[in-house]
Amino acid sequence: MADWISFYDLRHSLIYVNARHRDVHYRKIADDLRALAPSPTAAVLDYGCGEATSADYLAESCGHLTMVEAAPNVMAALKARYGGNGKISVIGPAEAAAKPAASFDLIVLHSVAQYLSGAELDGLLATFRELLKPDGHLVVGDIVPPRFAAPAAALSLLRCGAENGFFIAAVRGLIRIAVSDYLRLKSKVGLSHYDEAAMLEKLTRAGYRAERAARNVGHNQWRMTFLARPASGA
């Protein structure tokens, strides 16, 4: 995880083909998460939020949004962007883990699990289990299946580009990624992949009742989102 955090902190602009792609990406995530917010007063934790350029829009649908980001430069940018919004807090992982038990109605872990080892993900799921209210909800999104992950991601990006006016930039972005440090790092440290049964088993062992959502959060529908609640909750 540390290698990916360092890469993202210094090279996050590589992940998006242009600013239009970045903003469409985060707006779609915010749209989908707004539909999952349990109430207008909910306390929401978005863990590993990234640049989150539509966080203010997401915050409109809940009582308070706490965003967790481990990359120092990205965190600084988030604080600069949202420092004046009383409904948004930006904190690091250690501060999130130190929050009181049962602090949140909804916890989101989106497009993060693939960068964690199995043990790291187990640790986070245990932490979330403590931080969730007994009737709280956990959203684990963008889970990458073992087969066809890279081709599916490329096709999804091209489709998103065609639908949102940045198709040519998407093609160029794929070429840029192909010769970048991203693939070298991916080859070195790898990504974690789960099929549906494996992720459901992991969530069950961590103390949740879980199901696969009908659609993945975000634009890549080859990936999966899982909805979970504490097994002892309502």
- For residue 10, the model assigns a pLDDT of 63
Digit-by-digit pLDDT tens for the chain (234 residues) are 677 788 778 666 667 888 898 999 999 999 999 999 999 999 999 999 999 999 999 999 999 999 999 999 999 999 999 999 999 999 999 999 999 999 999 999 999 999 999 999 999 999 999 999 999 999 999 999 987 677 888 888 889 889 888 889 888 888 877 766 666 666 666 789 999 999 999 999 999 999 999 999 999 999 999 999 999 754
- CB–CB of 138/229 below 8 Å? yes
Q: Return the structure tokens found at 86.
A: 């009383």
> Which pTM was predicted?
0.90
Other CB atoms within 10 Å distance of the CB of residue 219: 19
From residue 71, how far is each of 43, 128, 169, 202 by CA, in Å? 23, 20, 26, 26
Strand stretches in the chain, DSSP E: 43-47, 64-68, 88-91, 104-110, 132-143, 208-212, 224-230
* Among the listed residues 194, 232, 189, the one whose alpha carbon sits nearest the alpha carbon of residue 5: 189
Other CB atoms within 10 Å distance of the CB of residue 210: 19
Ordered by where they begin, the domains of the chain are 2-230 (3.40.50.150)
- CB–CB of 208/129 below 8 Å? yes
- Rounded-to-integer distance, Cα 72 and Cα 47, Å: 14
Residue matched to tokens 């998103």: 160
Residue type, 113: A
Q: Which residues contact 217 (CB under 8 A, 6 or more apart)?
A: 29, 32, 33, 36, 110, 139, 141, 142, 225
- CB–CB of 183/211 below 8 Å? no
Angle between helices 196-205 and 118-131 (to 10 degrees): 50
